[in-house]
């Protein structure tokens, strides 16, 4: 699709949408329409239907893909099926970043799957960084109400000027509202979308206690139902595909409905296992955007977290897209 076509499709699709739930009904794209292989040679395989992708980690390499475009805001989604059985140390990440364009002050929005130990649950983590705030992790961790290795489940990020919402299937699991005091810590520059599988032995499962065991390789993560519905930013003339109307619709979409909010509360009561907002070991002073929920505070206070950093840079090895680099600022 050309730039103008994409622009028109975006504007028309966003008209009248009122919730994240509706966003999940947006058209699915072919892998080639939106993405390119980032690294991993033969370890990335696009299915014959052109819509599904397998990412493999074996003793040679992990693998990953990256969006062809960079985006400032939008709705980004994939259904993912995680590797079954023993997968300690294996990291699967579905995330946005502009680390290759802004080395010192990059932004990031992360969904990370942190491996398991046979018989135990997979855990997932969400996190954001803005403008290089890597000394301040804003991690939350959860377990799930299903086994993510048995079926595909949808993982989505809605990113607007004012909100970031993470979804699992049709449940919003986390809402980050931009506050004035967050300043540059709220992601606000165009980012690429990535999906990767890599060896996080030193990092991922129980803080690196359990490494990847290649006896159980290959580890295969499957991706399908790809939605890339964002305000693409042209890297050369820096024009965003979202004019005011579309940006406004994205804002409307980021208003969580009452029923979604109830689902989110219920999810968090049962499945939230860690939040930086209650980690007084790391943060003597609670970060300004944290809204303390007494029930969460009471339940999570006793949890002794293992601190993870951001997604380490080493999984970004490999071919980056050859596009000219975007060097604009937030003034798009």
Question: Collapsing DSSP states into helix, strand and coil, what is residue 37?
Answer: strand
Please, what is the minimum distance in Å from the beta carbon of residue 134 to ligand NAG? 12
Beta carbon nearer to ligand NAG, 184 or 318: 184
Q: Of these, 52, 87, 127, 131, which contacts ligand NAG (CB under 6 A)? A: 131
Question: Does position 245 bind ligand NAG by CB under 6 A?
Answer: no
Name the nearest CA neighbour of 267 among 165, 154, 145, 157. 145
Say whether 121 is catalytic.
no
Cβ neighbours, 10 Å, residue 177:
13
With CB atoms as reference, the residue minimizing the distance to ligand NAG is 184
Closest CA to 320 of 70, 57, 3: 70
Q: Which of 116, 123, 118, 75 is nearest to 96 (CA)?
A: 75
CB of 330 to ligand NAG, least distance (A): 7
Size of site (CB under 6 A) for ligand NAG: 4
Residue from 24, 36, 105, 162 touching ligand NAG (CB under 6 A): that is 105
Q: Which of 29, 136, 152, 184 binds ligand NAG (CB under 6 A)?
A: 184
- Distance between CA atoms of 52 and 35, rounded to whole angstroms? 12
332 in contact with ligand NAG (CB under 6 A): no
- Least distance from C-beta 53 to ligand NAG, angstroms? 34
Length of the chain: 332
Q: Binding of ligand NAG at residue 133 (CB under 6 A)?
A: no
| Nearest-approach distance from CB 298 to ligand NAG, in angstroms | 34
Given 183, 207, 245, 309, the residue binding ligand NAG (CB under 6 A): 183
| DSSP secondary structure of 92-124 | EEEEEE-TTT-SSS--EEEEEE----TTS---E
6 versus 163: smaller Cβ distance to ligand NAG: 163
User: Residue 131 or residue 160: which is nearer to ligand NAG going by CB?
Assistant: 131
Residue 97 or 131 with smaller CB distance to ligand NAG: 131
Among candidate residues 33, 59, 103, 112, the one labeled active-site is 112
Task: CB nearer to ligand NAG: give 58 or 107.
Answer: 107
Residue listed under structure tokens 């990113």:
159
Q: Which two tokens stand for residue 57?
A: 């980690």
Closer residue to ligand NAG (CB): 103 or 147? 103
In a 13 Å sphere around the CA of 229, the CA atoms on its Cβ side amount to 31
Which residues have CB under 8 Å from 284's CB, separation 6+? none
Q: Could you tell me the CA-to-CA distances from 132 to 174, 186, 246, 330 in Å, in that order? A: 21, 10, 28, 14
* Catalytic site includes residue 112: yes
CB of 130 to ligand NAG, least distance (A): 8
Catalytic residue (choose from 108, 139, 140, 260) = 108
For the record, the structure tokens of 157 come out as 């990020």
State which residue, 54 or 178, has the beta carbon closest to ligand NAG. Answer: 178
| In the complex, least distance from residue 183 CB atom to ligand NAG, rounded to whole angstroms | 5
d(CA 185, CA 131): 6
| Contacts with 49 (C-beta within 8 Å, 6 or more apart), sequence order | none
Binding residues vs ligand NAG (CB under 6 A): 105, 131, 183-184
Question: Mind telling me the catalytic residues?
Answer: 108, 112
């Amino acid at each position: 699709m050309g730039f103008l076509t994409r622009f028109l499709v975006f504007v028309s699709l966003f008209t009248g949408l009122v919730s994240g739930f509706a966003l999940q009904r947006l058209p699915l794209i072919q892998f080639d329409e939106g993405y390119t292989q980032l690294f991993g040679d033969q370890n990335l395989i696009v299915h014959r239907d052109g819509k599904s992708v397998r990412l493999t980690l074996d003793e040679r390499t992990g693998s990953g893909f990256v969006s062809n475009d960079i985006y400032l805001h939008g709705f980004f989604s994939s259904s993912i099926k995680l590797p079954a059985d023993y997968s300690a140390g294996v990291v699967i990440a579905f995330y946005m970043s502009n680390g290759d364009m802004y080395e010192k002050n990059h932004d990031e929005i992360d969904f990370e799957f942190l491996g398991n130990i046979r018989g135990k649950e997979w855990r997932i983590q969400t996190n954001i960084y803005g403008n290089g705030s890597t000394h301040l992790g804003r991690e939350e961790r959860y377990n799930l109400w299903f086994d993510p290795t048995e079926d595909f489940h949808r993982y989505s990020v809605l990113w607007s000027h004012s909100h970031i919402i993470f979804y699992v299937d049709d449940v919003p699991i986390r809402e980050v509202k931009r506050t004035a005091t967050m300043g540059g810590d709220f992601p606000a520059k165009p980012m690429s979308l990535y999906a990767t599988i890599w060896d996080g032995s030193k990092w991922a499962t129980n803080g690196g206690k359990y490494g990847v065991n290649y006896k159980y390789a290959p580890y295969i993560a499957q991706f399908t139902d790809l939605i890339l519905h964002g305000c693409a930013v042209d890297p050369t003339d820096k024009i965003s595909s979202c004019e005011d109307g579309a940006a406004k619709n994205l804002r409307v979409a980021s208003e969580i409905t009452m029923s979604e909010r109830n689902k989110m509360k219920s999810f968090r009561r049962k499945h939230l296992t860690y939040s930086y907002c209650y980690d007084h070991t790391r943060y003597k002073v609670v970060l300004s955007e944290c809204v303390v929920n007494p029930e969460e505070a009471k339940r999570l206070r006793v949890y002794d977290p293992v601190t993870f950093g951001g997604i380490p840079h080493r999984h970004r090895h490999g071919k980056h897209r050859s596009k000219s680099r975007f060097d604009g600022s937030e003034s798009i």
